[in-house]
């Protein structure tokens, strides 16, 4: 039995844990405010909020219900637009109406839910941040400026509202959310987190943002196990020498992690190019690695950092370097029922430099055409060691071994960049596809290698000289 709170209703259901949450909401519960658009996590029409008890408070995150198994609703508060509807419009809904933020209306519930989630999750507000919170919502009609104005208007409404005792009470008093939100914490406390482990699971689901895009019709008809049942950790820890990332840690957790920020200050901004907020709220580190996409962003980063994967199957444990994990297109060194528990890599020390680059057809909410990461350990003007990865230029996410070795003990100079780029092009075998021709991808990788050096060592590289000549075809 799966037990959760849907808006203000306590749900106890025997529906299959693999059921798509969107289908449960719309078909089983007849809550049709949550729309089905793309069913691929791209449009945001199906956005819901997921409330979870964390350290005694309920934290809400936006999620795409079209990619979410019902099992992950267990023990949580699922909020659809119907929960927000009251006798009067909420300030968010009113702002959307007044500012022309809605026309045909199909996308509107998704925007309202995302914007309300923004108010639930923050205490200080800006239009830019509100817009970021709606990065997973697409509107075909309005051209977005009405929606941006609506965010601004809703912020003004919030700031004018009287202050309640705590954030939730203030939002209730200001009519952003109904009073039922006050009792959710106590209701969730009563729900025991039970294991939903299947006897013979065919699939293993973490965030579902890959599996439910690729093969949801198969998954809903089969039994599956879920990351929570296998107790895959979802936290980031630093030991004396290592950073440890739990397999079930989400991309958004990594983006917000103080540990990551401390050692990789540019990475949070880089990870904003990963999908959208609702996707990042669900997509996990291990899911990114095991789906074996040649253009997985986190995979690309971990390969450059020479991460180790720690796998477990029952009580058996083993470790494998991520650089050795990929054996062919979508083929990985992992047995059935073996799970990635942790991903670890060395804590940077000395003169450590790291950079990630990604080019996609559109800047946000898109997967890469080509991506690349690099780390350098330097001593004055000398590269002591380097690790370069490249995605989208071969059947697997690649570690460019020869290029990384070539960089060792070289001066940081324009000449070194050029020879590294030349070597890299001998290590890759891109194919032409919807994301670009093979020639274009070669050109992209060369430019990304140039970018790594220009971003990290702007004073030591002559950009004009680098960009002159250098024909590759």
Ligand X SMILES: Cc1cc2nc3c(=O)[nH]c(=O)nc-3n(C[C@H](O)[C@H](O)[C@H](O)COP(=O)(O)OP(=O)(O)OC[C@H]3O[C@@H](n4cnc5c(N)ncnc54)[C@H](O)[C@@H]3O)c2cc1C
43 lies in the binding site for ligand FES (CB under 6 A)? yes
Name the residue number minimizing CB distance to ligand X. 287
Using CB under 6 A, which of 29, 39, 358, 435 touches ligand FES?
39
Using CB under 6 A, which of 4, 176, 339, 356 touches ligand X?
339
Beta carbon nearer to ligand FES, 105 or 470: 105
Residue 127's Cα: distance from chain center in Å? 22
Q: 89 near 215, Cβ under 8 Å?
A: no
Using CB under 6 A, which of 11, 58, 66, 201 touches ligand FES?
66
**Euclidean distance between the first and final Cα of the chain, in Å?**
61
Q: For residue 27, what are the contacts with CB-CB under 8 A and spacing of at least 6?
A: none
392 lies in the binding site for ligand X (CB under 6 A)? no
139 lies in the binding site for ligand FES (CB under 6 A)? yes
Q: 59 near 52, Cβ under 8 Å?
A: yes
DSSP 3-state percent helix, strand, coil across the chain (nearest 5): 35, 25, 40
Q: Is 32 exposed, middle or buried (0-12, 13-18, 19+ CB in 10 A)?
A: middle
Tell me, residue by residue from 31 to 70, as one string, x for binding to ligand X by CB under 6 A and - for no binding.
---------xxx----------------------------
Q: Minimum distance between the CB of residue 247 and ligand X, rounded to whole angstroms?
A: 4
Question: Long-range contacts for 411-414 (Cβ within 8 Å, ≥24 apart)?
Answer: 411/381, 411/382, 411/383, 412/378, 412/381, 412/382, 412/383, 412/453, 412/457, 412/460, 412/461, 413/381, 413/460, 413/461, 414/461, 414/462, 414/465, 414/466
Q: Minimum distance between the CB of residue 65 and ligand X, rounded to whole angstroms?
A: 13
Q: Minimum distance between the CB of residue 79 and ligand FES, rounded to whole angstroms?
A: 16
367 lies in the binding site for ligand FES (CB under 6 A)? no
Which one of ligand X, ligand FES, none interacts with residue 133, CB within 5 to 8 A by kind? none
| CB count in 10 Å sphere of residue 73 | 26
Beta carbon nearer to ligand FES, 51 or 278: 278
Q: 170 near 157, Cβ under 8 Å?
A: no
Using CB under 6 A, which of 4, 204, 216, 356 touches ligand X?
204
Beta carbon nearer to ligand X, 184 or 220: 220
225 lies in the binding site for ligand X (CB under 6 A)? no
Which one of ligand X, ligand FES, none interacts with residue 66, CB within 5 to 8 A by kind? ligand FES
Using CB under 6 A, which of 78, 112, 205, 449 touches ligand X?
205
Which one of ligand FES, ligand X, none interacts with residue 44, CB within 5 to 8 A by kind? ligand FES
Using CB under 6 A, which of 42, 230, 297, 357 touches ligand FES?
42
Q: Minimum distance between the CB of residue 35 and ligand FES, rounded to whole angstroms?
A: 7
**Which residue in 435, 339, 345, 453 sits closest to 391, CA to CA?**
435
Please report, for residues 98, 171, 172, 300, 381, the alpha-carbon distance to residue 161 in angstroms, rounded to integers and kept in the order given. 18, 9, 10, 46, 57
141 lies in the binding site for ligand FES (CB under 6 A)? yes
As a whole number of angstroms, the distance between CA 29 and CA 82 comes to 11
Q: Which residues bind ligand FES (CB under 6 A)?
A: 36-39, 41-46, 64, 66, 102-108, 139-142
């Amino acid at each position: 039995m799966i037990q959760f709170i849907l808006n203000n209703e306590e749900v106890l259901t025997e529906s299959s844990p693999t059921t798509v949450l969107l289908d449960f909401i719309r078909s089983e519960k007849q809550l049709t405010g949550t729309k089905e658009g793309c069913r691929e996590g791209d449009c945001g029409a199906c956005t819901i909020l997921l409330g979870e008890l964390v350290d005694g408070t309920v934290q809400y995150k936006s999620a795409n219900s079209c990619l979410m198994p019902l099992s992950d609703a267990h023990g949580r508060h699922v909020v659809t637009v119907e929960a927000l509807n009251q006798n009067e419009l909420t300030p968010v809904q009113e702002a959307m109406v007044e500012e022309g933020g809605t026309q045909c209306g199909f996308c509107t519930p998704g925007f309202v839910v995302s914007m309300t989630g923004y108010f639930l999750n923050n205490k200080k507000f800006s239009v830019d941040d509100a817009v970021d919170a709606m990065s997973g919502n697409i509107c075909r009609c309005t051209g977005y400026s009405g929606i941006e104005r609506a965010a601004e208007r809703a912020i003004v409404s919030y700031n004018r509202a009287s202050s309640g005792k705590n954030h939730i009470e203030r939002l209730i008093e200001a009519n952003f959310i109904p009073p039922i939100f006050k009792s959710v914490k106590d209701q969730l406390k009563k729900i025991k987190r039970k294991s939903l482990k299947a006897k013979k699971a065919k699939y293993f689901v973490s965030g579902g943002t890959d599996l439910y895009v690729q093969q949801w019709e198969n998954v809903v008809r089969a039994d599956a196990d879920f990351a929570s049942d296998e107790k895959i950790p979802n936290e980031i820890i630093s030991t004396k020498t290592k950073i440890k990332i739990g397999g079930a840690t989400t991309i958004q957790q990594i983006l917000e992690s103080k540990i990551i920020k401390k050692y990789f200050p540019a990475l949070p901004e880089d990870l904003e190019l990963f999908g959208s907020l609702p996707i990042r709220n669900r997509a996990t580190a291990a899911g990114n690695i095991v789906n074996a996409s040649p253009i997985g962003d986190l995979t690309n980063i971990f390969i450059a950092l020479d991460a180790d994967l720690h796998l477990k199957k029952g009580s058996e444990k083993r470790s494998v370097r991520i650089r050795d994990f990929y054996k062919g297109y979508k083929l990985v060194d992992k047995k059935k029922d073996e799970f990635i528990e942790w991903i670890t890599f060395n804590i940077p020390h000395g003169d450590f430099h790291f950079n990630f680059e990604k080019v996609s057809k559109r800047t946000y909410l898109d997967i890469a055409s080509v991506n690349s990461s690099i780390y350098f350990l330097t001593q004055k003007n000398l590269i002591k060691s380097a690790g370069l990865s490249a995605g989208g230029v071969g059947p697997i996410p690649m570690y460019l071994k020869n290029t990384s070795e070539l960089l060792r003990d070289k001066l940081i100079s324009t000449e070194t960049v050029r020879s590294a780029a030349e070597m890299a092009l001998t290590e890759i075998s891109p194919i032409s596809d919807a994301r670009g021709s093979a020639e274009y991808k070669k050109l992209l990788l060369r430019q990304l290698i140039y970018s790594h050096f220009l971003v990290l060592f702007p004073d030591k590289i002559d950009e004009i000289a680098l960009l002159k000549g250098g024909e590759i075809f």
